[in-house]
A and B are shown apart, each in its own frame.
Chain A
Amino acid sequence: MIPSLGKDLLGLERLSGDQIKLILDTAEPFKEISERAIKKVPTLRGATIVNLFFEASTRTRVSFEFAEKRLSADTVNVAASGSSVSKGETLVDTARNLEAMRIDMVVIRHGASGAAQFLADRIESNVINAGDGTHEHPTQGLLDLLTLRDHFGRLDGIKVCIVGDVMHSRVARSNIWGLTKMGADVGVCGPRSLLPNAIDEMGVKVFNRVEEAIEWADALNILRLQFERMTAGYIPSQREYNRVFGISRERLDRAKRDILILHPGPMNRGVEIDSDVADGPFSVILEQVTNGVAVRMAVLYLLSGGKPELAESAKRGGGER
């Protein structure tokens, strides 16, 4: 019996190791579809999906849209600017109106932590969190896990250090939950002012110097400084940050072994990551983007079966054809 994901994907904190493994395993065969001449399967034919984006996004929105279209779903994009949201409509009213037009799934990105959960509790459609405030970005966490698993052949026992603005990063939180559930060792490294106070309680190692992190890690997941979420001056300057925490070729060379380089994007070259690292031989940054489509197809596919009344008919019908 395969584990079910339930109705929504809100974060990796709530998933079990088995559920995470199910998503990663399901993503494997989906990679092949994007390599075909006709990149489309009829699986979600007739399903309507709304991408509700209250925050700017290129990569994630386009990736979800490709995933949806390659599964033959009908998709509608709603951005906060230019919609009724800018006229003062609440999140729930927006979603309920969309639901009145008979939709099946909502992919939501929102600046408030917990927005996806709030919506999931109030509508019947499947809800997928595409990033809520500083809380979680589960599909990014999953695609990072898939990329790491592709390279190391496993997640159990590998050492991954997240470097940079951990405090404002939902990607960091999804990575920490996902990696620790799959048995990886997780470290974080950054200016003390950009690490959350309770970070030790998440079961991670804290490195104050980036040289120590490089010495320890098999892979680095490098994060951008999220100035748009910073409410005060957390670092003296970008140049100063680059000098102390920036990942450069020179710093990596001192480790005398290969370290895999991940970055969720968008990159600020010359700040948290130097160009010769981003474009270097150990960078898997573009593989992450490719894997993102496969992971999102897997999530859409698995959630589309999450209607409890269907489980009953499955038991009666059996699987034999």
Chain B
Amino acid sequence: MAAPPKQTTILDARAFDRTLRRMADEIVELNNGTEGLVIVGIQRRGVQLAARIVSSITEREKFDVAQGALDITLYRDDLQTVGPRPVVGQTQIPVDIDGQHVVIVDDVLYTGRTIRAALDELADFGRPRRIALAVLIDRGGRELPIQPDIVGKRVSAEPTQRVDVMVEDLDGRDAAVIAEREVAT
């Protein structure tokens, strides 16, 4: 048995909540209001974060913002090499995104490949006026020319480390942690 990997908390529950509220405000600011705003979360934890951001905007602005979910599995660029097929989640874009301002929400931004896939998938649904990217954690390590518009927290993580975001609905608590990757034996 390997010793449990060392873990450092980046965001605890209170900082997590505060960060999401700030991101919600920044999204409204970036869009100059709530008109034409569509918040799209990436499966799985991005969907929970998007829902939290939407409820924060609704509370502050008294305006129902459109919300969607994107599963990018079928657009991944590594499907030919990943072996057994990854589980496919539900994609749901309930409004016409033509001419709208879409904000993609994800938990951790790393290589940028997930966002590349998300951009391709969104293009199959329509032609938004603008697409912005909001991420809770930007851990660096990009492999594609993609950058976020709104960031909850920036950390610089080594390739040997992993950054995990946990959300109340799925994991029982809100937190962001950084840990050493378990070495496969």
Which of A2, A43, A312 interacts with B74 by CB under 8 Å? A43
| B81 within 8 Å of A (CB atoms) | yes
Residues of A with C-beta under 8 A to B86? 2, 319
| A4 within 8 Å of B (CB atoms) | yes
Residues of B with C-beta under 8 A to A321? 76, 78, 110-111, 113-114
Q: A29–B91 contact, CB under 8 A?
A: yes
Q: How far is the CB of A13 from chain B (nearest CB, A)?
A: 22
Q: Give chain B's interface secondary structure class.
A: loop
Q: How far is the CB of A117 from chain B (nearest CB, A)?
A: 23
| A316 within 8 Å of B (CB atoms) | yes
Q: B83–A2 contact, CB under 8 A?
A: no
Q: How far is the CB of B68 from chain A (nearest CB, A)?
A: 11
| B84 within 8 Å of A (CB atoms) | yes
Q: B87–A311 contact, CB under 8 A?
A: no
Q: A32–B90 contact, CB under 8 A?
A: yes
Q: B125–A37 contact, CB under 8 A?
A: yes
Bitwise interface map of B from 145 to 162 toward A, beta carbon under 8 Å scored 1, else 0 = 000000000000000001
Q: B88–A310 contact, CB under 8 A?
A: no
Residues of B with C-beta under 8 A to A40? 124
Bitwise interface map of A from 283 to 321 toward B, beta carbon under 8 Å scored 1, else 0 = 000000000000000000110110100111111110111
Residues of B with C-beta under 8 A to A302? 85
Q: How far is the CA of A4 from the CA of B87 in the complex (A)?
A: 11
Q: How far is the CA of A313 from the CA of B78 in the complex (A)?
A: 11
Residues of B with C-beta under 8 A to A14? none
| A66 within 8 Å of B (CB atoms) | no
Interface size on A, residues (CB 8 A): 35
Which of B79, B81, B84 interacts with A43 by CB under 8 Å? B79
Q: How far is the CB of A142 from chain B (nearest CB, A)?
A: 16
Interface residues of B in 84-110 (CB under 8 A from A): 84-92, 110
Q: B162–A320 contact, CB under 8 A?
A: yes
Q: B111–A32 contact, CB under 8 A?
A: no
Interface centre among A25, A41, A316 (most CB of B within 10 A): A41
Q: A41–B74 contact, CB under 8 A?
A: yes
Q: How far is the CB of A66 from chain B (nearest CB, A)?
A: 16
Q: How far is the CA of A307 from the CA of B84 in the complex (A)?
A: 8
| A254 within 8 Å of B (CB atoms) | no
Q: A319–B82 contact, CB under 8 A?
A: yes
Residues of B with C-beta under 8 A to A4? 84
Q: A317–B184 contact, CB under 8 A?
A: no
Q: A26–B88 contact, CB under 8 A?
A: yes
Q: How far is the CA of A4 from the CA of B82 in the complex (A)?
A: 13
| A28 within 8 Å of B (CB atoms) | yes
| A87 within 8 Å of B (CB atoms) | no
Q: B85–A2 contact, CB under 8 A?
A: yes
Q: How far is the CA of A41 from the CA of B72 in the complex (A)?
A: 10
Residues of A with C-beta under 8 A to B88? 26, 29-30, 301
Residues of B with C-beta under 8 A to A310? 80-84
Q: How far is the CA of A29 from the CA of B76 in the complex (A)?
A: 16
Q: How far is the CA of A302 from the CA of B162 in the complex (A)?
A: 28
Closest to A319 in B: B86
Q: B74–A42 contact, CB under 8 A?
A: yes
Interface centre among A25, A36, A40, A307 (most CB of B within 10 A): A36
| B71 within 8 Å of A (CB atoms) | yes
Q: How far is the CA of A42 from the CA of B92 in the complex (A)?
A: 18
Q: How far is the CA of A313 from the CA of B91 in the complex (A)?
A: 28
Q: How far is the CA of A310 from the CA of B84 in the complex (A)?
A: 7
Supposing A32-B92, A37-B125, A43-B74 touch, asked if A317 and B120 sit within 8 A by C-beta, the answer is no
Residues of A with C-beta under 8 A to B87? 2, 25-26
Interface centre among B76, B87, B88, B111 (most CB of A within 10 A): B88
The 4 closest A-B pairs by CB, nearest first: A314-B83, A305-B85, A310-B83, A311-B83
6 contacts between A and B (CB under 8 A): A29-B91, A33-B74, A41-B74, A310-B81, A321-B113, A321-B114
